[in-house]
Structure 1
Amino acid sequence: MIQAFGLTSNPRKELPPAVDDVSFEARAGCVTTLLGTPGAGKTTVLRLMLELQQGRGTTYFRGRPLHRIAHPSREVGVLLGDVPGHPARTVRGQLRMLCAAAGVPVRRADEVLEVVGLVSLRDERLGTLSRGMDRRLGLACALLADPHTLVLDALTDGLSARERHWLHGMLRAHAAQGGTVLCATTDPKEAARTADRIITLEQGRLVADQDAADFSRTRLRPRVAVRSPHATRLAALLTKEARTAQRSVEVVPEAGNRLSVYGSTCADIGETAFRHGILVHQLADEVGDMGPGAGSTRQGEPSACREGRTLGEGPVGDGAMALDEIRAAGTTRETDSTAGQKTAGVTPEAAPAQGSATTPGVSTAHGSAGQRPSVAAAASTGTTPVTRLPEPNGPTGRLSTVTRVSGQPVGRASATSAPERPRSARPRSSDALTSDSLPPLAPPISVRSAPSPLRPLRYELRRAAGVGTGFLTGAAVLVSSALVAVLLARVGHTPQHRLLAAWPQELPLPPAALGAGLLGAIAFGDEFRHPALAVDRGTVPRRLGLLGAKLLVAAATGLLLAFLTVGCDAEVLYLVYGRELARVPADWLALTASWIGLVIGCAWAGVLAAGIFRSTTAGLAAVVAVPVVVVPLVQRVLEGSSVRSAAGFSVRLRELFLAEWPFGGERYLAAGTRMITQPVGGALTLSLAALLCAYLLTTLRSRVR
C-alpha cells in the first residue's frame, strides 16, 4: 500500500505552494485515483511521492520510503507523461535495454509485449507509435520489473473509448492480484467508473477522500438512463416540454438509441413517453456517467476493494486475462534483502510478512507488507484506521491514528460540508505564536541521485547498438577521412603519419578523433535528451558503475574506429597513388600508441563532459576545446624559460628499475611518457583529469544531498 503524509511543495517566490499538506493512502487490491482539474496539483503530488521534486512530507511504499528501497523499479512502476526513449529505437529494443537497467531477464521484454498487445509492433520505432500504442508501451515499461505498485499520470488522456476500456481492465487486473494502483485523471466520470477510491484535489489541497459510490452520490449529477427505438423523437419531446415548463433539463443522446436525461425523473419521462405512445425499453435512475461504454466496473457493482473480488470473478476486461497469463508463466525475481522477496505468479497473500522490515520506528497499519488489507469488518462499521506519522513531541515509534467515517477523515471538510478556512486564516510566522503552538513541519523531501542500471555494461551495449547514430557516425568518419587523405596526398608536403591519419596541420583534430568524441558525447547526451531509464529522476551524473560501462564502450568504439580509419586511408591511398604512400612508417609503434591514446582520450572527454553538462553539444565542445584552447596554454607553459630541463628522462627511467621488464615493458612506458609530455597528449591528459574530478565531485555532492 501507499501512505502519503503531509506532502507539501516548496513555495515559488511569494506564491503559495502548488501542493499544501496532502495526506492519503492507497490500499493494495484497490484502484485509487487522484482527481482534479488541470493545475490542481496531481502531478506535483506524484513527483513528491517519487522524490522527483523537493518539498516536505513522507511517502511509504509498503512501509518504506522510496530512497530506502534498494531497487525502486522492482517495487514501483512509474509512468509520468510520454514514454522516455530515443524516437529511433524500436519497441523491443527499448524494453530489452530497460531489462538490463532493472536487472531482469531479457525474455521479460517479449512477455510484457505479449501482455500489452504490442507483439506485432515490436520492430516499430518509438517515434512512429500512435497515442494508444504509446500508452500501451508506457504500461509495459511500468510492468517490466513486475512491481507491486503502479503510479501513473494521465494514462488515458487522448485515447479512444476502446483503449480506455482496455487500460482500465489492465489496472483492475493488477489490483485484483493484490497490487496497488494509483493514477491521476481530470475526468470525474472516468474516476467514478473505474476507481475504488477517489481522492479529490483542489488548488493543491485535499478536499475529499471517498469511496467510488460516495463520490458518485455527492459529486456527480444524477441522471435518468433511457433506451428506446424512438430516442430521437423522445429527446425532442422532452426538450420541448422542459422549455415550455421553464425547467432546466438536459438531454444528451448516446449511442445505440440511448439517452441520458439530467434534471428530470423516471416518472416525468415515463409519462411523456406514455402520452405520445413511445415504446421505452429502459428507464432507470443512475448516478454519474453509467451509460453504454462505461466499462465493466459500475458504481452499482461492489468493487474489488470492498468485496475482495479476485481475477476471474467479474468482467475486468481483456487486459486481465493477458496479465493473468504472464504472471502464471513463473517469471522469478532475484531476492533483495531490503525490498523483500516477490515471485511472479504468486499472489501477495502467499508472500512472507515484511512488516518488521520497515524503517526503524515506523510500522504499518495492516500487518505484513505484501498482504492485501482486509476491510470487511471496517466497512461494516463505516470506519477505517489510517496511520499517521509519529508526533514530534510524542513517544518514539508510536503511530497516531485517525478515523475516517464514511470515507471522510475527521477534521477535514467533506464534499458537502462547509469549505475549509482560507489560507490567510492560517497562523503565519509573523503572528504572536509560541514554538509549542506552531504546527510541526513534515520532514524535507530531497531529490535523490539518479538511478543506475543494475547491469550497466549490458545496458550500455544495448543503448549504443539500439539506434543507427553510431553506425552512421562511423561511416561518415571513414568517408571523410579517406577524402581528406586523398586531398592531402594530392597537395603534398604532409608527413606520412599525418597522411595515414588524415590530419592536416590546419585542423585541430583528425576526423577519427572528432568522431570518437562525438560518439562519447552521445553516450551521455542522449540520456538527458531522450531519457533511457524508466523515470528521469534525480541529479546528474549517475553512479560510477554506469560511467565505467560508458568509458569502456567508448574506448572500444574509439579503438575500432582508429584502426578502421588508418586501414581505410591506407587502402584508398594505395588504390589512388600506389604503394609508396601506403607504406608503414619506421616508428610505427610509438605512432600507434599516440594515435590510440588520442582517439580514446577524445572519446572519454566527450563522455565525461556530456555527463557533467547534460548535453551532447557540450561534450563535443569539450573535445574541440582541447587542441584549440588547452594545447596553446600547455605549449606556452612548456616554452617558457626554465633553469632545468628533463633531458635524459628515459635513461634515468630505465635505471630506476633493477630488473628488465618482460617483453620490453620499459619501452612502452617510455613511449607513453613521451606521448604525455607532448603538447596534445599533455593537454588531453590534463583535460581528462579535470573532467573526471568534476564528475566525481558532482557525484559526491548529489549523494550528500
Structure 2
Amino acid sequence: MLQAIGLTSTRHRGRPPAVNDLTFEAGSGCVTALLGPAGSGKTSALRLMLELEPGRGITYFRGRPLHRVAQPAREVGVLLGDVPGHPSRTARGQLRMLCAAAGVSASRADDLLDAVGLAGLGDQRIGTLSLGMDRRLALASALLADPHTLILDEPAEGLSAPEADWLHGMLRAHADRGGTVLYTTEDPKEAARTAGHVVTIDAGRLVADQEGRDFSRTRLRPRVAVRSPHAARLAAIVRREARAARRSVEVVTEASSNHLSVYGSSCAEIGDTAFRHGLPVHQLADEVGDTGPARAARAARPPRPVRSADPAHPADSVAAPGLPGDRLPGDARGGAAHVGAPCAASAAEKSGAAPEAAADGTKAAVRMPVNAARAPLPPPIRRRSARGPLRPVRYELRRLFGVRTTTLIVAVALVASTALSVLLARNGRTPLPNVLAAWPSLLPLPPAALGAGLLGALSFGDEFRYPALAAGRGAVPRRLGLLLAKLAVSAGVALLLALLVVLASAETLRLVYGGDLVRAPSNAVSLAVSWAGLTVGCAWAGLLAAGIFRVTAAGVAAVLAVPVLIVPLIQMMPKAPTARSMRGLPGRLRELAWLQWPHEADRWVAPAVRVVTHPVGAALTLSLSVLLCAYLFTSLRSRVRW
C-alpha cells in the first residue's frame, strides 16, 4: 500500500507550487492511475514520493517512509523515462550490473529478460533497441529486486496499441500478486480501461479520487455529438423537452458554436427532435466523451433536487449532473474531499488497527480533513542522495567490462606501446626501462599511463553520463564502499595493463632485434615499483578528478596536469644541499609498526620511498592528496546540503 499525505512542492521564483497539498492512497492488489493533463504536477508528485525533490509531505510504503526502508530497491521499483544505460552495453549486461547494485543473483537478469519478452535480445546493445523494447527493459529494471510497489511515469507514452496492452497486462499481473501499482497518464480513456482506481489532479491539486467504475461513469459518459447551424435553438428545445419529460439530460455547447454535446440522450431522440422542429443537422454520432476533470468531479456528486420550470409539473425534478453551483472536491484552502473510494482498502483499515506513526510522531492518516488549513504542516521532504550498490566490487567489474570501451583502450595502449618500443630501441641510445615502458622524452606520459588514466576517468565519468545508480537524481552516490571498489578495480586494471605492456614490448623486441637486447637490470625491483606506481597513480588521479567535476574530461586533464604543470613547478623549487640521509628508514618504520613485517619487505619499502621522492612521483603524490581531500570535502558538503 502507498499513502501520500500532504505532498507540496517547493515554490520557485514566486510561482505556485507544482503540487499543492496532494493526498491520496494506492491500495495493494490494485492498479492506480494518477491522471492529469500536461503540467498538472504528476511527475513532480512522483518525485516528491521518491524523495527526489524538496518539499513538504510524507509518503508511506506499507507504513514506512522511503528513507526508513533498508533496501529501497526491494520495496519500490521505479520507471522514470527511458533506461539510463550506456548505449554500448547489452540488455543482459545492464540487468546484471543492476543485479549487483540491488544485491540479487545475476540469474535474475535472465529470468526477467524471459518475463518481459527479451530472451532472444539479451545480447543486443541498448542503443539499438526500439522504444517498445526499451520500455520492456526499463520495466525489467524496475522489477529486478521483486519490489512490492511499482511507480511508473507515463509508461505507455509513444507505444503502439499492442505494446501498451502488453505493458498494462504486466502491471495488472503484478497487482494480482498483491503488489501496488501507481502510474501516471494524460489519457482518461487509458485510465478507465486499465486502472481499477483513478486519482485525478489538476494544477497540482486533487480533483477526484474514484474507483474505475465510478470514474468511467462520471468522466467518460456516453454522449451524442451534434453539429447544426441552429445549434443554440436545438439546445434550447432539447433542454425544454427533457424538463417536460423529467429526464436527466445535459446539453453542452462546445468551443465551436455549432457543435453540441448531449449527455443522457441518444442519436434517435435528438434526430427526431430536430426533424419535428425542422432544424437541419450536419452531424449526429454516438461518442464516449471526456467531460474534463472539473465537470467529472461535479458529476460524481449525487443529483440534487431543483424546482421544475414547467408549471404543469410542480413537483421537483432531478437536475442534470454538472450544473453550475456544484462545489468541487476540496475547498479554496487546498483541502481534499475524496469523491470515491480506492479499489482496495489498507490492511490497517480492514483490521481496525491504528495507522503507524510517522517520522515526526503524527499518525499516518489516509484521508486528510477538508479544512486542511487548521491541520499541522506536513513534515519537510529533503532530497536524499542515492544509495550505493550493495555489492560494489561486483558492480564495478560489470560496469567496467560491460562495454567495449575498456577493451578498446587496452588494445590501443598495447599497440602504441609495442610500436614505440621498437622505434626507441632502434637507435640504441634510449635506456632499457624507457624502451620497455615505451616512454619517449617527447611524450609527457607513456601510452600505458595515459590509458590507465583514461580508464580511471571513465569510472566516474560514465556514472554521471549514464547514472544507473541514481536515475532521476543527476548525481552518483558518494559512498565509501563505491569509492574503494572503484579504486581497487582501477588499480587492478592499471597493474594488468602495465604488466601486459612490459611483456608485449619485451617479446616484440626479442622477436625483432634478438634476445640480447632485453636483459633484467640490477634495479629491477625499484623499476617495477615505480612503473606500477605511475600507472596506478594516473588511474586514481583520473578517477578522483572525474568524481569531483562529474565529467571524464576533467579526469584526463588531471592526469596530464601531473607531468605538464606539477612536475615543472616542483623542479623549479630551490634545491638546498642535503645534510641528512634517509638511510635506514625501513628499519625505523619496522620499529614503529604494530605488526613486524619480515626483513625481505625492506626491498620493496626502499624503492617505494625513492619513487615518492622522484619529481614525477612527488608530483603524482601531491596531486592524489589534493584530489582525495577535494573528493572527501565535496562528499561531506553534499550530505550536509541534502
Shorter-chain TM-score range: 0.7 to 0.9
In the TM superposition, what is the alpha-carbon distance from 1:45 to its structure 2 partner? 1.1
Q: Which whole-Å CA distance do the structure 2 matches of 1:14 and 1:243 have between them?
A: 44
In the TM superposition, what is the alpha-carbon distance from 1:127 to its structure 2 partner? 0.8
Deviates more, 1:107-116 or 1:142-151: 107-116
Q: Which whole-Å CA distance do the structure 1 matches of 2:364 and 2:559 have between them?
A: 56
Residue 108 of structure 1: SS of its match in structure 2?
helix
Indicate if the aligned counterparts of 1:116 and 1:140 stay in contact, CA closer than 8 A: yes
Deviates more, 1:653-662 or 1:524-533: 653-662
**Aligned pair partner of 2:434 in 485, 498, 506:** 498
Residue 469 of structure 1: aligned partner = 405
Render the CA deviation track for 1:459-484: whole Å, top value 9, x for unaligned.
11111121111001100111111222
Alignment of 1:476-625 (within 5 A): 476-490=412-426, 493-533=429-469, 535-537=471-473, 539-625=475-561
Please say if 1:3 is aligned against 2:23: no
Render the CA deviation track for 1:127-184: whole Å, top value 9, x for unaligned.
1111111111111111111100000001000001111111111111111221111111
Residue 299 of structure 2: aligned partner = none
Q: Which whole-Å CA distance do the structure 2 matches of 1:203 and 1:264 have between them?
A: 27
Residue 341 of structure 1: aligned partner = none
Deviates more, 1:594-603 or 1:196-205: 196-205
- 1:636/1:389 CA distance change after superposition, 3 Å: same
Q: Which whole-Å CA distance do the structure 1 matches of 2:436 and 2:615 have between them?
A: 21
Q: Which whole-Å CA distance do the structure 1 matches of 2:354 and 2:261 have between them?
A: 37
In the TM superposition, what is the alpha-carbon distance from 1:652 to its structure 2 partner? 5.2
Residue 174 of structure 2: aligned partner = 174
Q: Which whole-Å CA distance do the structure 1 matches of 2:173 and 2:230 have between them?
A: 44
Alignment of 1:234-313 (within 5 A): 263=262, 267-269=266-268, 288=289
Indicate if the aligned counterparts of 1:189 and 1:288 stay in contact, CA closer than 8 A: no
- Name the amino acid aligned to 2:600: G
Indicate if the aligned counterparts of 2:29 and 2:178 stay in contact, CA closer than 8 A: yes
- 1:267/1:450 CA distance change after superposition, 3 Å: closer
- Name the amino acid aligned to 1:484: L
Indicate if the aligned counterparts of 1:478 and 1:564 stay in contact, CA closer than 8 A: yes
Indicate if the aligned counterparts of 2:100 and 2:392 stay in contact, CA closer than 8 A: yes
Residue 629 of structure 2: aligned partner = 693
In the TM superposition, what is the alpha-carbon distance from 1:443 to its structure 2 partner? 2.2
- 1:541/1:613 CA distance change after superposition, 3 Å: farther
Residue 199 of structure 1: SS of its match in structure 2?
strand
Residue 702 of structure 1: aligned partner = 638
Render the CA deviation track for 1:222-266: whole Å, top value 9, x for unaligned.
237xxxxxxxxxx9xx8799999977999xxxxxxxxxx964777
Q: Which whole-Å CA distance do the structure 2 matches of 1:75 and 1:466 have between them?
A: 27
Q: Which whole-Å CA distance do the structure 1 matches of 2:349 and 2:618 have between them?
A: 74
- 1:102/1:655 CA distance change after superposition, 3 Å: closer
- 1:187/1:389 CA distance change after superposition, 3 Å: farther
- 1:447/1:680 CA distance change after superposition, 3 Å: same
Indicate if the aligned counterparts of 1:449 and 1:538 stay in contact, CA closer than 8 A: no
Indicate if the aligned counterparts of 1:196 and 1:212 stay in contact, CA closer than 8 A: yes
Q: Which whole-Å CA distance do the structure 2 matches of 1:170 and 1:272 have between them?
A: 44
Residue 583 of structure 2: SS of its match in structure 1?
helix
Residue 129 of structure 2: aligned partner = 129
In the TM superposition, what is the alpha-carbon distance from 1:190 to its structure 2 partner? 0.8
Q: Which whole-Å CA distance do the structure 2 matches of 1:208 and 1:244 have between them?
A: 31
Indicate if the aligned counterparts of 2:80 and 2:152 stay in contact, CA closer than 8 A: yes
Q: Which whole-Å CA distance do the structure 1 matches of 2:51 and 2:34 have between them?
A: 18
Unaligned 5+ segments in structure 2 are: 236-250, 254-259, 273-283, 291-343
- 1:12/1:492 CA distance change after superposition, 3 Å: farther
Deviates more, 1:7-16 or 1:516-525: 7-16
Q: Which whole-Å CA distance do the structure 2 matches of 1:27 and 1:186 have between them?
A: 21
Report how many aligned residue pairs link the two structures: 557
Q: Which whole-Å CA distance do the structure 2 matches of 1:165 and 1:120 have between them?
A: 21
Q: Which whole-Å CA distance do the structure 1 matches of 2:359 and 2:87 have between them?
A: 49
In the TM superposition, what is the alpha-carbon distance from 1:655 to its structure 2 partner? 6.1
Indicate if the aligned counterparts of 1:612 and 1:694 stay in contact, CA closer than 8 A: yes
- 1:272/1:561 CA distance change after superposition, 3 Å: same
Q: Which whole-Å CA distance do the structure 1 matches of 2:270 and 2:512 have between them?
A: 98
Residue 650 of structure 1: aligned partner = 583
**Aligned pair partner of 2:393 in 446, 454, 457:** 457
Q: Which whole-Å CA distance do the structure 2 matches of 1:590 and 1:108 have between them?
A: 47
Residue 335 of structure 2: aligned partner = none
Render the CA deviation track for 1:69-118: whole Å, top value 9, x for unaligned.
11100000001011121111111111111111111111111111121111
Indicate if the aligned counterparts of 2:464 and 2:475 stay in contact, CA closer than 8 A: no
- 1:249/1:54 CA distance change after superposition, 3 Å: closer
In the TM superposition, what is the alpha-carbon distance from 1:376 to its structure 2 partner? 11
Alignment of 1:325-340 (within 5 A): none
- 1:288/1:73 CA distance change after superposition, 3 Å: farther
- 1:441/1:681 CA distance change after superposition, 3 Å: same
In the TM superposition, what is the alpha-carbon distance from 1:410 to its structure 2 partner? 4.0
Q: Which whole-Å CA distance do the structure 2 matches of 1:63 and 1:51 have between them?
A: 16
Indicate if the aligned counterparts of 1:75 and 1:149 stay in contact, CA closer than 8 A: yes
- 1:377/1:498 CA distance change after superposition, 3 Å: closer
Please say if 1:373 is aligned against 2:318: no
In the TM superposition, what is the alpha-carbon distance from 1:23 to its structure 2 partner? 1.9
- 1:401/1:623 CA distance change after superposition, 3 Å: closer
Q: Which whole-Å CA distance do the structure 2 matches of 1:688 and 1:140 have between them?
A: 40
Residue 327 of structure 1: aligned partner = none
Indicate if the aligned counterparts of 2:586 and 2:605 stay in contact, CA closer than 8 A: no
In the TM superposition, what is the alpha-carbon distance from 1:556 to its structure 2 partner? 1.1
Q: Which whole-Å CA distance do the structure 2 matches of 1:634 and 1:94 have between them?
A: 45
In the TM superposition, what is the alpha-carbon distance from 1:543 to its structure 2 partner? 1.2
Alignment of 1:435-446 (within 5 A): 440-446=376-382
Residue 240 of structure 2: aligned partner = none
Residue 684 of structure 1: SS of its match in structure 2?
helix
In the TM superposition, what is the alpha-carbon distance from 1:536 to its structure 2 partner? 4.4
In the TM superposition, what is the alpha-carbon distance from 1:490 to its structure 2 partner? 3.6
Unaligned 5+ segments in structure 1 are: 225-234, 251-260, 274-282, 290-370, 379-383, 404-408, 413-425, 427-436
Please say if 1:120 is aligned against 2:120: yes
Deviates more, 1:535-544 or 1:98-107: 535-544
In the TM superposition, what is the alpha-carbon distance from 1:690 to its structure 2 partner? 2.0
- 1:31/1:264 CA distance change after superposition, 3 Å: closer
Residue 157 of structure 1: aligned partner = 157
- Name the amino acid aligned to 2:389: P
Residue 87 of structure 1: aligned partner = 87
In the TM superposition, what is the alpha-carbon distance from 1:620 to its structure 2 partner? 1.4
Residue 24 of structure 1: aligned partner = 24
Q: Which whole-Å CA distance do the structure 1 matches of 2:86 and 2:449 have between them?
A: 25
- Name the amino acid aligned to 1:157: E
Indicate if the aligned counterparts of 2:388 and 2:477 stay in contact, CA closer than 8 A: no
Q: Which whole-Å CA distance do the structure 2 matches of 1:513 and 1:376 have between them?
A: 64
Q: Which whole-Å CA distance do the structure 1 matches of 2:264 and 2:364 have between them?
A: 49
Q: Which whole-Å CA distance do the structure 1 matches of 2:443 and 2:11 have between them?
A: 51
Render the CA deviation track for 1:559-586: whole Å, top value 9, x for unaligned.
1100111111222223333334433333
CA RMSD across the alignment? 3.6
Indicate if the aligned counterparts of 1:242 and 1:249 stay in contact, CA closer than 8 A: no
In the TM superposition, what is the alpha-carbon distance from 1:597 to its structure 2 partner? 0.7
In the TM superposition, what is the alpha-carbon distance from 1:374 to its structure 2 partner? 6.4
Alignment of 1:308-387 (within 5 A): 373=346
Q: Which whole-Å CA distance do the structure 2 matches of 1:389 and 1:218 have between them?
A: 36
